[in-house]
Amino acid sequence: MNLNMLKKKQATKEVKLSLREKKHQANLRKNSGLYFQIGLIATLFIVFGVFQLKFVTSPVEIELPPIDIGEVIKAAPIDFIIEENIPKEVKTQAVITKPKSLDNFEIIENDSKVLVDLIETPPVIVDKPMAVVDVDVVEAPVVIDTIPISLVSDYPEYPGCDKFSDKKRKFECFQQKIAKHIQRKFDSDIAAENGLTGIQKITIVFTINHEGNIVDVKARAPHPELQKEAVKAVMSLPKMKPAKQGYKKVNVTYALPLLFKVD
| Contact assessment for residue 242 and residue 151, using Cβ atoms and an 8 Å cutoff | no
Distance in angstroms (rounded) separating the CA atoms of residues 214 and 238: 8
Split into its structural domains, the chain has a count of 1
Q: Look at residue 17 and tell me whether its pLDDT is greater than 50.
A: yes
Report yes or no on 73 lying in a domain.
no
- pLDDT per position as a tens digit, 65-75: 665 545 444 44
| Contact assessment for residue 114 and residue 206, using Cβ atoms and an 8 Å cutoff | no
Report yes or no on 186 lying in a domain.
yes
Tell me which of 41 and 134 has the higher pLDDT: 41
Distance in angstroms (rounded) separating the CA atoms of residues 239 and 232: 15
> What's the pLDDT score for residue 208?
94
Report yes or no on 194 lying in a domain.
yes
Residue 251, Cβ density class (10 Å: 0-12 exposed, 13-18 middle, ≥19 buried): buried
Neighbouring CB atoms inside 10 A of 81's CB total 4
**Residue-number span of the structural domain to which 155 is assigned:** 146-262
Report yes or no on 93 lying in a domain.
no
- pLDDT per position as a tens digit, 80-108: 454 555 556 555 555 555 545 444 444 44
| Contact assessment for residue 165 and residue 239, using Cβ atoms and an 8 Å cutoff | no
How large is the C-alpha radius of gyration of the chain? 61
Q: Which of 263, 261, 260 is nearest to 182 (CA)?
A: 260
Report yes or no on 89 lying in a domain.
no
List phi, psi (to 5°) of 48: -65, -40
Q: Look at residue 233 and tell me whether its pLDDT is greater than 70.
A: yes
CATH classification of the domain holding 214:
3.30.1150
What DSSP character marks residue 155?
Answer: -
Handedness of CA 98, 104, 108, 114 (dihedral sign): negative
Regarding pTM above 0.85, the answer is no
Q: Look at residue 143 and tell me whether its pLDDT is greater than 80.
A: no
Report yes or no on 18 lying in a domain.
no
Q: Look at residue 200 and tell me whether its pLDDT is greater than 60.
A: yes
Report yes or no on 69 lying in a domain.
no
Distance in angstroms (rounded) separating the CA atoms of residues 207 and 148: 9
Q: What 3-state class would DSSP assign to 205?
A: strand
Report yes or no on 184 lying in a domain.
yes
- pLDDT per position as a tens digit, 106-126: 444 444 444 444 334 444 444
